[in-house]
Chain A
Amino acid sequence: ETGVTQTPRHLVMGMTNKKSLKCEQHLGHNAMYWYKQSAKKPLELMFVYSLEERVENNSVPSRFSPECPNSSHLFLHLHTLQPEDSALYLCASSQVRGEAFFGQGTRLTVV
């Protein structure tokens, strides 16, 4: 257990669905991240929130929409995804410039 909890662990969704991934940390960290991990491009940085402010949007399609309501919670809202979006989505948290603690990930399959 890393202290970073992601739900759900597995998700299958159709291309017209809307779903959300949730990440929660109670480590007192002030930075949170979304990463996408697929076979072709391991560990792509998607979004970074530092002190609850989004500081990085790494050219991610608008069908992915992050939300960070407070320093302990991070969401990734998904809508009208494509099959190529199927991947493992990892959340991580850290103190700014410190080591990252990863959640166990959400395995997403888009059908």
Chain B
Amino acid sequence: GQQVMQIPQYQHVQEGEDFTTYCNSSTTLSNIQWYKQRPGGHPVFLIQLVKSGEVKKQKRLTFQFGEAKKNSSLHITATQTTDVGTYFCAGLSSSNTGKLIFGQGTTLQVKP
């Protein structure tokens, strides 16, 4: 079945350093979504990428969708302690009725 792999599983950075998490799908995706889950919270939608090669920015966050629509990345520039949490990518296959498959998530810790 469809799988979405995400790396790394954990990342500890010093405040001010950059952070990147990568997402790879076993199948071509219709779109990819990114979510953030704060400790003790629930996943919250960040962004959706639809087009091949698409790049979107939200302040210090940059999201990319690969040309083949099978991979994606989230890059955070100059991390802050408020960036702490788990970042999930979620892929929507082009051949289903709405099944959103999540990656394992990358948990980010930021040391002040």
> What chain A residues lie within 8 Å of B31 (beta carbons)?
97
Majority secondary structure of chain B interface residues (helix, strand, loop or mixed)? strand
**Which residues does chain B contribute within 8 Å of A35, judged by CB atoms?**
102
C-alpha gap A56/B48 in the complex (Å): 22
From the candidates B48, B100, B104, B105, name the one contacting A45 in the complex (CB within 8 A): B100
- Chain A residue at minimal CB-CB distance from B94: A97
Report whether B44 and A102 are in contact in the complex, using a CB–CB cutoff of 8 Å. Answer: yes
Give the docked Cα–Cα distance between A33 and B92 (Å).
14
- CB-contact partner of A100 in B30, B90, B97, under 8 A: B90
Is the C-beta of A103 less than 8 angstroms from some C-beta in chain B? yes
Contact between B98 and A31, CB atoms less than 8 A apart: yes
Task: Indicate the member of B33, B96, B97 with the most A CB atoms within 10 Å.
Answer: B97
Partner of A50 from B41, B43, B90, B98 at Cβ < 8 Å: B98
A80 at the interface (CB under 8 A from B): no
Closest to A104 in B: B42
Q: Is the CB of A45 within 8 A of B101?
A: yes
CB distance from B81 to the nearest CB of A (A): 22
**Complex Cα distance A50/B100, Å?**
12
A43 near B99 (CB under 8 angstroms)? no
Let me know if B22 is at the binding interface, CB within 8 A.
no
What B residues does A83 contact at CB under 8 A? none
Mark out the residues of chain A between 19 and 57 whose CB falls within 8 Å of any chain B CB in the assembled complex. 31, 33, 35, 41-43, 45, 48, 50, 55-56
Are the CB atoms of B99 and A45 closer together than 8 Å?
A: yes
Chain B residue numbers with a CB within 8 Å of A45 are: 99-102
Q: How far is the CA of A43 from the CA of B36 in the complex (A)?
A: 12
A92 contact set on B, CB distance < 8 A:
43, 100
CB-contacts of B72-93 with A (<8 A): 86, 88, 90, 92
Closest 9 CB pairs of A and B: A43-B102, A96-B98, A102-B42, A99-B45, A31-B98, A50-B97, A55-B97, A50-B98, A102-B43
